[in-house]
Structure 1
Amino acid sequence: MWRYFSKFIHSPISRFNPSKSNSIPVNFEMGSYCATRICNLQTLFKGKSSGYSTVTSCDSFSEEKPKDNSVSDMLVDSFGRLHTYLRISLTERCNLRCQYCMPAEGVELTPTPKVLTKIEILRLADLFVSSGVNKIRLTGGEPTVRKDIEDICYELSSLKGLKTLSMTTNGIVLARKLPKLKECGLDSLNISLDTLVPAKFELMTRRKGHEKVMDSINAAVDLGYNPVKVNCVVMRGFNDDEICDFVELTREKPINIRFIEFMPFDGNVWNVKKLVPYSEMLDTVAKRYPSLKRNQDHPTDTAKNFMIDGHKGQVSFITSMTEHFCAGCNRLRLLADGNLKVCLFGPSEVSLRDPLRNGAEDHELREIIGAAVKRKKPSHAGMFDIAKTANRPMIHIGG
């Protein structure tokens, strides 16, 4: 999983003191249930349109794009990419302190009044879904620390036109919340786990909890999630010796291990010593499992997917560093403070919270979103340039 890029990036670099840690901060990707619906989405949201049947492949966009362009064009950039996948960051808060995400003392968070409320999240999500988005992923920070997470899942899963509601989580409190989340419509899961060794887990996250994450993975399997995606950021000298141990998790259970390239950015200096490139990870797996073979991936997939004979699960690689996947990008991101990012790696953002709170109608919000999408570049800049100029976290890239 690409956990959220350490918030120290938004602040002066001096906030993070490398002398206090051996780690390299990187740009990763990382309530009570109400049985009665809190509100009727058909009447709560202004200007609601019916759902649209859309395609996620930019290769076939010209043949299959929705007929009502006045709405769906909001999601199409100037290169013909149709954005049907929205990631929503529910919070900047997290119950871990991963060394590659943030300093031990934490980071300065957006004040609560500036974070989107549940009603604001639902209004914006409804606007996106009615315009053609068919997949939403809930992220953070850590989304399960938000007290109204069950209510949000319940309302989002009720949106007409939404096909998939997903979540990326660190799994610390997931096991006890997952049965209710599944009832509330959560369709799929990505659970982060960078090591199978409890002592390493505690060293990396500065917290105990390895057993809780394993319990969450097993709970997801038992509840019928298939596959259960497990995101593992591979770092040389830390967990690169565990690659095949992770692959073994796919033998007997429907687990999809997703190995993610580490982004080796420390302050304003590249440090590639911890980067294990996709080609090396693939070679490691292929030597141990000669039956490894490539799947036919969807054009919008961020992962390169593989099967191993006799294994119930599969193995994937997310190659953000060595082979970007911009050409098939269909993703947008709504941050916890209401800013929209059209490129997960890019620094530019536009606020939807401010016009929303100033009384903007749906058509006005669509114009703001459409203009931002049209400004999306064909590919993101070099990671070094992005890291230097970014003014906030880049959150959950893989997934």
Structure 2
Amino acid sequence: MMRRCVLALTRQRRPDRAVDTVRAGFQWLANISSPVGATESQRCSNTYATSCATAPDILSRETSASSSSEMLVDSFGRFHNYLRISLTERCNLRCQYCMPAEGVELTPKSELLSHDEIIRIANLFVTSGVEKIRLTGGEPTVRKDIEDICLHLSSLKGLKTLAMTTNGIVLSKKLPKLKKCGLSALNISLDTLVPAKFEFMTRRKGHSKVMESIDAAVDLGYNPVKVNCVIMRGMNDDEICSFVELTRHKPINVRFIEFMPFDGNVWNVKKLVPYAEMLDKVRQKFKGVERLQDHPTETAKNFRIEGHVGTISFITSMTEHFCAGCNRLRLLADGNFKVCLFGPSEVSLREPIRAGVDDAGLKEIIGAAVKRKKAKHAGMFDIAKTANRPMIHIGG
């Protein structure tokens, strides 16, 4: 199989990228430790070498993976049935924790995955065992073919959940059609309930539009409507209990997210509000805060509050990692494949596809990348010092 894949690349590569195209798919297969997918125009240089910790504390789990889904099983026995696909690097907001103040250089359109390439890769993952796909960005709703992408993805046999994470700015208008096209789960990002603060944090107007989108999602029957809230000390940590109030009468799940470091977002440990501190604030204000039973692959710690229709959750990426149950993989808008949010290693799938590699060859590339996934990501301070792409490039 290796020989056939290399021959395919050699015969069908474009003349101007002959050497780089071969490297794009097969340095990983040759167990080279440097990251893959480096073309002249790609920004994935050796800066993105893997930095994840290797402590073998993963809880091995039995899976029902068939031979066709072996590519989704890593060396610690974790079966990855959840794929996050970034549809674009473009966004209609400029959130401070996501994008540097000076902005970022966006990948040229010709180097982003096309509609057909997205569907092909997604189908490859779904036929191998992926049951959930989440569409991210950038802002996925700014992509003109978002409805068509949803329609094709939701039609893939074996896919159980098609979700999307969005900032909600234009969602209320598009959501009825998106639901008809198969969008079955929704996360809406909102970091403040104060319009003036929203404008400061996102560098744009639009708070009322996001609130309209949340209400529209509730009215359309999404249950729960998940609201993602990144908590930063001195910025919005005084609004935690106000966000909890959103869950009193509506089926909303507010997800409080610890502030995470990415290139350009000026991360500082002093801005981090730990999960334990956030939970303590909630318990001081509300009675009957009860921990729910979480699924082994759940990223959040979930709680019910007495008398509330909705729920709250805490995503503790920094203070209490959940790597042991990780079942997530990421496909970036430029076609790079990333096995860990905090691990900077990436491998290109776009280049092998455009060089003519067949599905079997792509499975080898993907499987090799998954096998190289570490037991867990680095510690909080190591992550902060590690070169990684801005969140706008990785996808929310």
Structure 1 residue 326, shift from structure 2 partner:
0.3
Distance, in Å, in 1 between the alignment partners of 2:126 and 2:260 is 32
Per the alignment, residue 147 of structure 2 pairs with 150
Q: Does 1:128 align with 2:125?
A: yes
2:332/2:395 contact within 8 Å kept: no
- Structure 1 residues 351 and 383, CA, compared in 2 at 3 Å: closer, same or farther? farther
Per the alignment, residue 268 of structure 2 pairs with 271
Structure 1 residue 264, shift from structure 2 partner:
5.5
Per the alignment, residue 65 of structure 1 pairs with 64
Structure 1 residue 89, shift from structure 2 partner:
0.3
Per the alignment, residue 258 of structure 1 pairs with 255
% of aligned pairs identical? 79
Distance, in Å, in 2 between the alignment partners of 1:131 and 1:356 is 18
CA-to-partner distance for each residue in 1:206-226, whole Å, 9 max, x for gaps? 111000000000000000000
Q: Which amino acid aligns with 1:124?
A: I
Per the alignment, residue 55 of structure 1 pairs with none
Structure 1 residue 389, shift from structure 2 partner:
3.7
Count of aligned positions = 342
Distance, in Å, in 2 between the alignment partners of 1:11 and 1:375 is 17
Distance, in Å, in 2 between the alignment partners of 1:279 and 1:255 is 22
Structure 1 residue 267, shift from structure 2 partner:
6.3
CA-to-partner distance for each residue in 1:297-348, whole Å, 9 max, x for gaps? 0010000000011111001000011000100000000000000001111000
Unaligned runs of 5+ in 2: 1-42, 46-57
- Structure 1 residues 265 and 130, CA, compared in 2 at 3 Å: closer, same or farther? closer
Per the alignment, residue 323 of structure 1 pairs with 320
Aligned match for 2:284, one of 270, 282, 287? 287
CA-to-partner distance for each residue in 1:16-61, whole Å, 9 max, x for gaps? xxxxxxxxxxxxxxxxxxxxxxxxxxxxxxxxxxxxxxxxxx9684
Distance, in Å, in 2 between the alignment partners of 1:273 and 1:341 is 29
1:264/1:274 contact within 8 Å kept: no
- Structure 1 residues 396 and 249, CA, compared in 2 at 3 Å: closer, same or farther? farther
TM-score scaled to structure 1, two decimals?
0.82
Q: Does 1:313 align with 2:310?
A: yes
Distance, in Å, in 1 between the alignment partners of 2:365 and 2:148 is 28
- Structure 1 residues 115 and 268, CA, compared in 2 at 3 Å: closer, same or farther? closer
Distance, in Å, in 1 between the alignment partners of 2:358 and 2:44 is 34
- Structure 1 residues 119 and 366, CA, compared in 2 at 3 Å: closer, same or farther? same
Distance, in Å, in 1 between the alignment partners of 2:210 and 2:361 is 43
* 1:345-360 matches, cutoff 5 A: 345-360=342-357
Distance, in Å, in 2 between the alignment partners of 1:392 and 1:239 is 25
Distance, in Å, in 1 between the alignment partners of 2:259 and 2:89 is 21
Distance, in Å, in 1 between the alignment partners of 2:381 and 2:115 is 35
Distance, in Å, in 2 between the alignment partners of 1:220 and 1:60 is 37
Q: Which amino acid aligns with 1:177?
A: K
Distance, in Å, in 2 between the alignment partners of 1:321 and 1:125 is 29
Structure 1 residue 287, shift from structure 2 partner:
1.0
Aligned match for 2:158, one of 141, 156, 161? 161
Structure 1 residue 98, shift from structure 2 partner:
1.4
Distance, in Å, in 1 between the alignment partners of 2:395 and 2:311 is 16
Distance, in Å, in 1 between the alignment partners of 2:128 and 2:290 is 37
Distance, in Å, in 2 between the alignment partners of 1:74 and 1:390 is 27
Distance, in Å, in 1 between the alignment partners of 2:44 and 2:155 is 38
Aligned match for 1:138, one of 132, 135, 139? 135
Per the alignment, residue 91 of structure 2 pairs with 94
Distance, in Å, in 2 between the alignment partners of 1:261 and 1:124 is 31
Structure 1 residue 387, shift from structure 2 partner:
4.3
Distance, in Å, in 1 between the alignment partners of 2:238 and 2:179 is 34
Aligned match for 1:380, one of 357, 361, 377? 377
Q: Which amino acid aligns with 2:359?
A: D
CA RMSD in angstroms, aligned pairs only: 2.2
Q: Does 1:235 align with 2:232?
A: yes
Distance, in Å, in 2 between the alignment partners of 1:60 and 1:78 is 10
Q: Does 1:220 align with 2:217?
A: yes
Structure 1 residue 390, shift from structure 2 partner:
2.8
Unaligned runs of 5+ in 1: 1-9, 13-57
SS at match of 1:233: strand
CA-to-partner distance for each residue in 1:163-220, whole Å, 9 max, x for gaps? 0000000000000000000000000000000000000001111111000000000000
Distance, in Å, in 1 between the alignment partners of 2:265 and 2:281 is 31
Distance, in Å, in 2 between the alignment partners of 1:285 and 1:397 is 31
Per the alignment, residue 336 of structure 2 pairs with 339
Q: Which amino acid aligns with 2:255?
A: R
* 1:20-59 matches, cutoff 5 A: none
Structure 1 residue 386, shift from structure 2 partner:
3.6
1:346/1:390 contact within 8 Å kept: no
Distance, in Å, in 2 between the alignment partners of 1:206 and 1:394 is 16
1:268/1:388 contact within 8 Å kept: no
SS at match of 1:144: helix
Structure 1 residue 152, shift from structure 2 partner:
0.1
Distance, in Å, in 2 between the alignment partners of 1:202 and 1:229 is 21
Distance, in Å, in 1 between the alignment partners of 2:60 and 2:392 is 28
Q: Which amino acid aligns with 2:370?
A: V
CA-to-partner distance for each residue in 1:240-283, whole Å, 9 max, x for gaps? 11111100000000000000111257869862221111000000
2:224/2:310 contact within 8 Å kept: yes
SS at match of 1:252: coil
Distance, in Å, in 1 between the alignment partners of 2:161 and 2:395 is 16
Distance, in Å, in 2 between the alignment partners of 1:155 and 1:361 is 21
